[in-house]
Amino acid sequence: MHGEEAFPRLRNELFRHLVEHEGYRSIAIESDCLAGLLVDGFVTDGVGSLEDVMRRGFSHGFGESPANRDLVHWMREYNRDRPAEDRLRFFGFDAPIEMTGPDSPRQALTALHTYLVAELRGGQVPHDRKAVDRLLGDDGRWTNPAAAVEPAASVGASAEAGTLRVIADDLLAALTSEAPQLVASTSSDEWWQARLYGSTAVGLLRYHAAMADDAPTRVSRLLGLRDAMMADNLTAICEHQARRGPTLVFAHNRHLQRVRSRWQLGGQPLRWWSAGAVVGARLADRYAFVAAALGAAPRHGLPAPAPDTLEGVLATLPGDRHLIDAPRLAGALGRATPLSPRTDTSTGHGYFPLDPDQLAQIDAVVFLKHLP
């Protein structure tokens, strides 16, 4: 459930334990991947200020979360006197996309072009910067909120957008083909950031094109494209951090689950694969999904769960919060009366109950019994 501080506060406790006892050295959260570079610069090297990175380093309003502020502050203090190779890293892994629509591809595309021009000889970088700027035009065309519900209002089907998709692909190809030289002349970190800019530019242009499509599957496709960008970012983070230790990922269950996501929106059934499902297919047993579950939350209009639901069974455990082995739980429940999915709703944004039939696809469950 987005907007409930109990979950990110518990995340902070878990992350600190994993850092101090299990060798974790990075965390990735459901926030803009490009904005997250500002947060990482602060926690690793003290670049900027806490106030600035909380204001500009998060999307979806997550910079207003006290728990996120505590996380950033703790990571900075942890890193302060440590060698660079042992410092904690922060990543956003979401695409630069809000509910009102995606960002302009300008930041990602121009940052990649600038990096290549600075490091490669003349003639090795395809396309001229002035031509790219001319094709991008006014950013207002790209961020027009009307395009969220009106395909005709999207710039994604324009000739300029089509040309920019080719340019983004060419620049990303140049980055890949010249990787040995670029990594040697800059650093693996700088090359990794340039690749992030390239993949984000390609992903945003693909998303804008899908926004201009008026097919009945438009919304499902957009949801799938966003999660595909998340999956690419998580895979890249995993590769980048593999030698330093595992990464803790924090996001809504619907982005991390292994099963196909389903959502009934305005009478329209939506189906798409989540980022977790894609990453799980790529990484197999190197990916673990810990689902969050909630009992009663009066301030969110959520009553105590019915006894024949998964949450109702978990609510019978002593104590207020638990970390539960999901396969063992599934085995125990398999010998009992079948459970029903929870049907009561919450006033909180984006609340979805756990489906007891999906326990086999979950590695563990974090359960909070009661939010006072």
Q: Are residues 203 and 103 in the same domain?
A: yes
Domain-located, residue 175: yes
What is the tally of structural domains in the chain? 2
Contacts of 127 (CB under 8 A, 6+ apart): 113, 167, 170, 171
Residue after which a domain boundary falls, among 149, 179, 214 = 214
Whole-angstrom Cα distance, residue 255 to residue 188?
Answer: 28
* Predicted pLDDT at 372: 78
The 3 state secondary structure assigned to the chain is CCCCCHHHHHHHHHHHHHHHHHCCCEEEEEEECCCHHHHHHHHHHCCCCHHHHHHHCCCCCHHHCHHHHHHHHHHHHHHCCCCHHHCCEEEEEECCEECCEECCCHHHHHHHHHHHHHHCCCCCCCCCHHHHHHHHCCHHHCCCHHHHCCHHHCHHHCHHHHHHHHHHHHHHHHHHHCHHHHHHHCCHHHHHHHHHHHHHHHHHHHHHHHHCCCCCCHHHHHHHHHHHHHHHHHHHHHHHHCCCCCEEEECCHHHHCCCEEEEEECCEEEEEECHHHHHHHHHHHHCCCEEEEEEEEHHHCECCCCCCCHHHHHCCCCCCEEEEEHHHHHHHHCCCCCCCCCCCCCCCCCCCCCCHHHHHHCCEEEEEEECC
pLDDT of residue 350: 75
Q: Judge whether 140 lies within some domain.
A: yes
Residue ending a domain, choose from 197, 214, 231: 214
CATH number at residue 167: 1.20.120
pLDDT for res 266? 76
* Residue finishing a domain among 187, 214, 241: 214
Residue 89 lies in a domain: no
CA distance 336 to 312: 14
Task: Provide the phi-psi class of 301: left if phi over 0, else alpha when psi is between -120 and 50, else beta.
Answer: left
Q: What is the mean pLDDT of each run of 10 residues along the chain (372 residues)?
A: 90 98 97 98 97 97 97 98 95 94 96 96 87 96 95 97 98 95 93 97 98 95 97 97 96 95 85 96 96 92 93 95 94 82 77 90 96 82
pTM across the whole model: 0.95
Does residue 324 lie in a domain region? Answer: yes
pLDDT at 99: 82
Is 232 part of a structural domain of the chain? no
> Containing domain of residue 111, as a range?
99-214
141 in any annotated domain: yes
Count CB atoms within 10 A of the CB of residue 333: 15
Q: Count CB atoms within 10 A of the CB of residue 38.
A: 20
